[in-house]
Structure 1
């Protein structure tokens, strides 16, 4: 069958194309996609050719992973289900992660419509998630990373937590830690993004003069969550970390990501390294969005028709205007 998709055709090259999708099997769900949410950091690393099947490209001569259908998260309405599927039915609103595609470097991708998705990668949304409300669940995988970062470490009410990074994972890590009663400070580099944090969160713009000295004065730290792979910033936190504190590392470190265990040993710091997504964590994150502990829609700064995905990526790559949550709307008719 045919589908439309956002395709990375080469390094820093994006296109909106017709693609081939294998006909659905007994364990597949066909979804008419309404919205897909760009995971800016992860998808950019693939667009730059830095990863192959989720791993870093570290050896000269590796074949770059192109073409590929970008992304891994979307919401829509079930069109049909295979004979072996009982968890969802036609008409249900669902979240779907990676979906099948043919003729690409990887056999799955995210920004594709219609989406033929194995039932294990489909989650039924609550009945309250009807129409526009379903949009809140579109970044479920990425929100799950932030939620997991905030849930992994031991935290008691009043404990100090520092989140490095003001992007989406940093936002959802901060929201989760605040919901657990932590005293949260976010270290970022963009006043606009820092301004989207909950009012209870402290915020520091690392680009402003004199802030590094102020950061080094933060003490009694129970948790550091690094969402961007900023090891020098983490090391500036080390003197202020308590014994038996926690480092949660969710950032992509490129080819430089080495943490010396001897740096952690003097304070008996526990290292957590969450990545990917698991069914139990996805279910917990879905519940957190439903009950309001995680806010997603307020973080959307841009929504473009899916056929304007090239324009969306040009904006992301040029970095000439403020953005955070970038969503593709697949309901709008394509124009030529």
Structure 2
């Protein structure tokens, strides 16, 4: 693969580079040359160094989650600022940065609230595939290409709004920290900020992928006495046990619903349940696994577009709680760079979540690994 074609002075020029394009769902990604426009006011153009593959990207390729296509997917990226648009002050060319699918404008009611993190300028709940001005920065074959969640990291260069970019420590290992853009804060925050897992508690985690195992790590760090892991892929059980899971369950091998087994194992239910798959049936199973009176169920996975939850409301009446958590309730630009610094200072180690690293041009092989359950997190290197 040729190197990206870049002029000596790129801040006001179009960059021609390679990107993986999803022309349609249920088809392999196509690696093609794209033109990446210069950043407009308030925008940042970034040279991507690494990008993680998230289950959400897979759901989009599988047609379960609807976004405008053709698009450049990917939202878990680490890179270096190449150029900035007018008015950008928080980063400069040469800075190491992360891209965030949930921005932080620091101006709207949710950004200003001490708890809220769902910035009003987000592009996740109702993805338009366009920048805030309603246009695109990508062109391929003379056709405009949509972005994903205002990020798009399956490309050598991307353009992101300043409100979705966070400067990180210059010492950050760029082949490792891309998972701090999504998987790690999503999992950790679901435990520390949303559920607030307590020492000595019992937990169940549905889905033992990258985010699910970040949840497991958070539960262990919180002092949970028992962590039950649920997955239909038993290849994930050994790494799950290594990270803190005490009991592993494969629902396909059980003679009764998994939630019934969990309740039998825990004397009526767990204190905290996490659904990290993105499936309405497992959300209900996780909720039913919770103890009444004080059980807390946290929905972390993104369920298919237009799906609906259906359960007996009596489950909630005896004071069970069902909560949603996106990006772990972290205010992205304010909080996540601090997580990177803590990682560098070895306050925690998320390296075991990355089981595979592949060159960018092997992105379809990476998705095959993810689809087959052979990896926890695969990182693409550019």
TM-score, normalized by length of structure 2?
0.73
How far apart, in 1, do the equivalents of 2:155 and 2:289 lie?
A: 47
Tell me the equivalent position of 2:174.
Answer: 134
Task: Using the TM superposition, give the Cα deviation of residue 88 of structure 1 relative to its aligned residue in structure 2, in angstroms.
Answer: 1.6
Alignment check: 8 A CA contact 2:280 2:308 kept: no
Tell me the equivalent position of 1:58.
Answer: none
Segment drifting more, 294-303 vs 171-180: 294-303
2:195 is paired with a residue of what secondary structure? coil
Q: Could you list the runs of 5+ residues in structure 2 that have no partner in the other structure?
A: 1-13, 102-130, 132-136
Task: Using the TM superposition, give the Cα deviation of residue 123 of structure 1 relative to its aligned residue in structure 2, in angstroms.
Answer: 0.8
Q: Could you list the runs of 5+ residues in structure 1 that have no partner in the other structure?
A: 54-64, 331-336
Task: Using the TM superposition, give the Cα deviation of residue 214 of structure 1 relative to its aligned residue in structure 2, in angstroms.
Answer: 4.3
Tell me the equivalent position of 1:149.
Answer: 190
Tell me the equivalent position of 1:308.
Answer: 362
- The reply to whether residue 30 of structure 1 matches residue 42 of structure 2 is no
Q: 1:59-208 residue pairs with structure 2 within 5 A?
A: 65-97=68-100, 100-102=137-139, 103-106=144-147, 108=150, 109-129=152-172, 133-139=173-179, 140-151=181-192, 152-183=194-225, 184-197=227-240, 198-206=242-250, 207-208=252-253
- The reply to whether residue 226 of structure 1 matches residue 268 of structure 2 is no
Cα deviations by residue, 1:170-226 (Å, 9 ceiling, x for unpaired): 111111122222232222233332222345331313144569464341235211111
Tell me the equivalent position of 1:326.
Answer: 378
Alignment check: 8 A CA contact 2:167 2:337 kept: no
How far apart, in 1, do the equivalents of 2:303 and 2:145 lie?
A: 26
How far apart, in 2, do the equivalents of 1:282 and 1:171 lie?
A: 23
Cα deviations by residue, 1:271-292 (Å, 9 ceiling, x for unpaired): 1112357761564344345324
* Structure 1 residues 276 and 298: CA distance shift in structure 2, 3 A: closer
How far apart, in 2, do the equivalents of 1:256 and 1:117 lie?
A: 30
Tell me the equivalent position of 1:262.
Answer: 313
Count of residues in correspondence between the two structures = 313
Alignment check: 8 A CA contact 1:6 1:112 kept: yes
1:42 is paired with a residue of what secondary structure? helix
Task: Using the TM superposition, give the Cα deviation of residue 302 of structure 1 relative to its aligned residue in structure 2, in angstroms.
Answer: 1.9
* Structure 1 residues 124 and 230: CA distance shift in structure 2, 3 A: same
Tell me the equivalent position of 2:121.
Answer: none
Alignment check: 8 A CA contact 2:294 2:319 kept: yes
Cα deviations by residue, 1:121-152 (Å, 9 ceiling, x for unpaired): 111112331xxx23332022232221222120
Segment drifting more, 29-38 vs 190-199: 190-199
Segment drifting more, 139-148 vs 90-99: 90-99
User: Considering only aligned residues, what root-mean-square deviation do their CA atoms show, in Å?
Assistant: 2.8
How far apart, in 2, do the equivalents of 1:106 and 1:29 lie?
A: 14
Cα deviations by residue, 1:251-302 (Å, 9 ceiling, x for unpaired): 2333554143614324311111123577615643443453246543222222
Alignment check: 8 A CA contact 2:98 2:166 kept: yes
How far apart, in 1, do the equivalents of 2:289 and 2:65 lie?
A: 34
Q: 1:223-302 residue pairs with structure 2 within 5 A?
A: 223-228=272-277, 229=279, 231=281, 234-235=284-285, 238=288, 241-254=291-304, 256-260=307-311, 262-275=313-326, 280-281=331-332, 283-292=334-343, 295-302=349-356
* Structure 1 residues 282 and 174: CA distance shift in structure 2, 3 A: farther
Segment drifting more, 153-162 vs 289-298: 289-298
Alignment check: 8 A CA contact 1:9 1:67 kept: yes
How far apart, in 2, do the equivalents of 1:324 and 1:252 lie?
A: 18
Alignment check: 8 A CA contact 2:284 2:309 kept: no
How far apart, in 2, do the equivalents of 1:190 and 1:294 lie?
A: 26
Alignment check: 8 A CA contact 1:7 1:16 kept: yes
